[in-house]
A = this chain, B = another copy of it.
Amino acid sequence: MFRGVTNINLDAKGRMAVPTRYRECLAEHCGGQMVVTIDTEERCLLIYPIDEWEVIQRKIEALPSFNKEARRIQRLLIGHATDVEIDGSGRLLLSGPLREYARLEKKTVLLGQGKKFELWSEELWLQRRDAYIEDKGDSEALPDELLSLSL
């Protein structure tokens, strides 16, 4: 169960050092085998342990092929999903196209999000976060689960 925010510098080769607190868990859980893909709603990357990803991929594949939104999701999510392995120094190599999509340069932010991670360019994340904080009490209907949630 991942959580928390970490500032990470990508190096000149586009590698991201996985924070140590996650490494043991990832090594046990999936032998450091991960899958990176894009988020379809935001300019950020999604990083899954391979077994978690495979469950999701099966669900996406099962969507109806003649529904346009389903095809969109399939092409974007499965199409960009890239296998990566954590190397001996605990780093992930992110391919050029993925880095471009999320506008990743040196300064990035890794967010733990339960069963996956999100990787943002620092600049984009700070903008997005501030926008989220301003928008308190968005008018959009809240799911019932949220209305009754007691923190």
Contact = CB atoms under 8 A, between A and B. Distances in A.
Interface string A1-21: 101110100000000000001
Interface residues of A, number: 60
A88 interface: no
A63 interface: yes
A3 B78 CA distance: 5
A143 B72 contact: no
Contact of A59 (B62, B70, B145): B145
Best-surrounded residue of A21, A69, A75, A151 (most CB of chain B within 10 A): A151
B146 A69 contact: yes
Contacts of A83: 3-4, 21
Interface string A59-87: 11111101111111111111111110000
CB-based closest 7 A-B pairs: A61-B114, A3-B81, A79-B111, A4-B82, A72-B132, A3-B78, A41-B136
